[in-house]
Structure 1
Amino acid sequence: MGSRMSICPGCGLMLPDRQMERPRGFHATGECYQKYSERSAYTLSKQDIDFIHQHAVDAYSAQHAGSGMKTITVAFSLIGLYYAVERGYTGKQVQRVHMLLSRRKFDWPPLPVPDKPYSLTVNDVLQEKPGKNRDAMLREWMRDVWLCWEHQQEWIRNLSQSLLK
């Protein structure tokens, strides 16, 4: 008999079920969130000038949108991915966009999550050798998450332009 598997409801990542508690605020299993924490340790330890950590936070948050997540978190994550993927912003620049947006009053609507499955997960990032390879995979992961949110991209573009005039 094989071991039971845990399937993340956000990204579909399958990992051995260790009966970990689900994280608050993310539509994820505890096992997937642990991988996110491992990735966070990596990106934060880099202390890079571009602050790639922000991109990873946005990718994971957008990928794990769903029950329990604040609507502002989903919107900010997608806005961050828009600026990173389509406009080439660094994590530091995206962080500045988030700060500017946080000063604006806006009623953030719930956004329907993608119907299509993600091709990459946080675990794919961690499977790569630390350094350039892992950072490149993180960027691929960001692009994959952004592409899966295709149904909201126009709204995100328009909202970003109107709120950041």
Structure 2
Amino acid sequence: MKSGDDTHESTRCPGCRAELPTTPWPENPKINASAACLKASGDLLGFELEHQLKLGYLHQLRMDAYHAQHVRVGAPRIGPVFALNGLYMFLERGSGNLDVRTAHGIMANSCDDWPELVAPAEVGRLTTSDVLAAGGPEEVEKAMLTWADEVWASWPENDREVVRELTIDLVPARYFRR
């Protein structure tokens, strides 16, 4: 990007494809994200914490949407399954933060042969930086819900069905709110 005589370097996130200004934020080899995208995710977490009364109920959803959008090739199979499980439980079953975290624990102790899920080429139009730029708490809440829904819908139906079935098979019904 050029603005007058100043040149600003940018980088494209390999996971969500966001084009963001380069940052000295540290890389994380465990996740398929640029340093700039990891910084945006950290900034969104900070915003969430500043507005915890309004946004706290979306904490697990934010983490699951981000991880489902940034799956690294060769990562442990449990990662995308858990990210999609969280999206499924919140978006389709009405489950909250504690329900999803409990389900993750139950699933981790009940299964050791995770399906191999490969992230689609496109993982939703919105990114964590878009959510952060949405405005105040109400706008960020709406953007976060839209973002999570887009990420969930971007995964192939057969992968979503595998996660639905695995979740229903392993997680007691009391953790589903609808």
Runs of 4+ in 1 over 4 A off after TM superposition: none
**Cα gap change, 1:145/1:40 in structure 2, threshold over 3 Å: closer, same or farther?**
same
1:44 counterpart letter in structure 2: L
Aligned residues: 165
Q: RMSD of the alignment, in Å? A: 2.1
Match of 1:51 in 2: 57
Pair 1:11-2:21 in alignment = no
- Greater shift after overlay, 103-112 or 113-122? 103-112
Aligned to 1:22: 27
Taking every aligned residue pair, what percent have the same amino acid on both sides? 29
Q: Structure 1: give runs of 5+ residues left out of the alignment.
A: none
Contact 1:27 1:65 in 2 (8 A): yes
1:75 aligns with 2:81: yes
Q: How does 1:10-159 map to 2 (within 5 A)?
A: 10-18=15-23, 20-48=25-53, 51-67=57-73, 69-151=75-157, 152-159=159-166
4-13 vs 20-29, greater mean Cα deviation = 20-29
Once the 2 structures are TM-superposed, how far is the Cα of residue 92 of structure 1 from its aligned partner?
Answer: 2.8
Q: Which has the larger radius of gyration?
A: 2
Distance 1:21 1:67, change over 3 A: farther
| d(CA) in 1 for partners of 2:62, 2:122 | 20
Report the alpha carbon displacement of residue 68 of structure 1 after superposing the two structures with TM: 5.7
SS for the counterpart of 2:11 is strand
Quick one: structure 1 residues 19 and 48, their matched pair in 2 at CA, closer, same or farther if it must change by over 3 Å? closer
- Asked if structure 2 preserves the Cα contact closer than 8 Å seen for 1:26 and 1:68, the reply is no
